[in-house]
Copies of this chain bind each other. A is one copy, B any other.
């Protein structure tokens, strides 16, 4: 639905709620798609959100559940917070087991157990099956009940099976299994329609199936789906038995989530620190990063402290200290961002890392010379001291060289150590560019002291 329409609808619902015209609100809501209801709820006050959700639960529980899903686990949990365990169970039961698992794993442990006990036996077993797998793996995010066809069927029998199956709106690929449920092939609905009905399924199917394991990281799952332009990917257990399926809409969520994680980590923010996260949760999440930054900044400051006598004599040096450090940090951040994203997109590997390092060093030094000469000239014109210009320019060139080297090596090294390179690269690189910046600038300045007339 168009943004303008959503806004108009939001306004109407707000007004109707104020007049307690609940049946009107319900009539408006139940015609909408879950995604649209959730977009409307986003712009409502907390109280109105609760009213809307309560109406949905009364009159269209399936829509309530899908809206909750679209709302996401973090904001969704707020809506569930003041419901009884029984009510929570009724809503979550309406969801596919993979979505139900997301919410249940986010509930307080005791509530989660009660919800699992209260759910219909089959659904509960499915969710518990998913919860056995680790977070962010294929097993955790898959839909476990996959429609599949036996390899011994004919095409005609296969079509009949499809026609009589329930709940099968989204079939893109039909997976073919043997007696013991091993994944042996895949066939598309259209392939079935263009061959004679008596053809054995085995003859039509493709045996070269792209699949992932239950323990495959969700990021790798997303990479496979994107790489081969798939609409869904089957998940198999260690014996190659079909365990579930992950569809492309879930993959899109993973891609967005992982991109957000990288963007946030690079800025020193936790992945789950959203706009709508409460202020004190955000403080708790951001403070540790800032404390680490304080520690590294103080560490770099000890280098400045070594040169206090020089600064006492030539106080104008203090003016350019943050310039050297800041520019080096920016140059290092440019490099490390390209490398971190390159690692995430699979463009950088150990194999091509040598040429990448060479390139980034060349880029660092070239930019260093350009910016160094420019900064040096500005400083010379400003303070009328050519030695200052030379020292500033030289320090910038040295710092940019280091920025290029470390901006490349730090993320590569962290990746090799199985640490998320987005998570820690920034702190390492900027600490070093601060330190090297101070050291080279104040070191060069002290060395060339005899040429520096007292300002």
Interface residues of A (CB under 8 A from B): 7, 33, 35, 39, 42-43, 70, 159, 162-163, 168-169, 171-172, 188-190, 193-194, 225-231, 248-249, 251-253, 255-256, 259-260, 262-264, 266-269, 273-276, 278-280, 282-283, 286-287, 289-291, 293-294, 297-298, 300-301, 304-305, 308-309, 311-312, 315-323, 325-327, 330-331, 333-334, 336-339, 341-342, 345-349, 351-352, 356, 359, 362-363, 366-367, 370-371, 374-375, 378, 430, 434, 438, 455
Contact = CB atoms under 8 A, between A and B. Distances in A.
Contacts of A229: 35, 249
Nearest to A343: B275
B300 A322 contact: yes
Given A163-B193, A322-B322, A345-B256, A316 B327 contact: no
19 contacts: A7-B351, A35-B229, A39-B346, A163-B193, A163-B194, A171-B190, A251-B252, A255-B256, A260-B345, A263-B341, A266-B266, A274-B347, A275-B339, A282-B359, A287-B370, A290-B367, A294-B374, A308-B319, A312-B312
Nearest to A301: B319
Contacts of A297: 322-323, 326-327
B378 A193 contact: no
B330 A293 contact: yes
A319 B304 contact: yes
Contacts of A255: 252, 255-256, 259
Contact of A327 (B43, B290, B356): B290
A297 B320 CA distance: 9
Given A229-B249, A276-B347, A316 B305 contact: yes
Contacts of A367: 283, 286-287, 290
Q: Quickly give the copy total for this chain.
A: 2
A336 B334 CA distance: 18
A363 B33 contact: no
B337 A320 contact: no
A164 to B, nearest CB: 9
Contacts of A286: 331, 334, 363, 367
Contact of A323 (B42, B294, B315): B294
Contacts of A322: 297, 300-301, 304, 321-322, 325, 434, 438
Contact of A334 (B169, B194, B253, B268): B268
Contact of A259 (B70, B256, B319): B256
A334 B190 contact: no
Nearest to A232: B231
A22 to B, nearest CB: 23
Contacts of A43: 349, 351-352
A269 B338 contact: yes
Contact of A291 (B278, B304, B316, B374): B374
A227 B253 CA distance: 10
A282 B363 contact: yes
A252 to B, nearest CB: 5
A348 B294 contact: no
A229 B298 CA distance: 49
A372 to B, nearest CB: 10
5 shortest interchain CB distances as A-B pairs: A259-B259, A267-B337, A312-B315, A275-B342, A229-B249
A206 to B, nearest CB: 12
A307 to B, nearest CB: 9
Contacts of A162: 190, 193
Interface centre among A305, A326, A337, A359 (most CB of B within 10 A): A326
A171 B347 CA distance: 31
Interface centre among A35, A289, A341, A352 (most CB of B within 10 A): A341
Contacts of A274: 338, 342, 347
A294 B371 contact: yes
A323 B321 CA distance: 11
Given A291-B371, A348-B275, A333 B231 contact: no
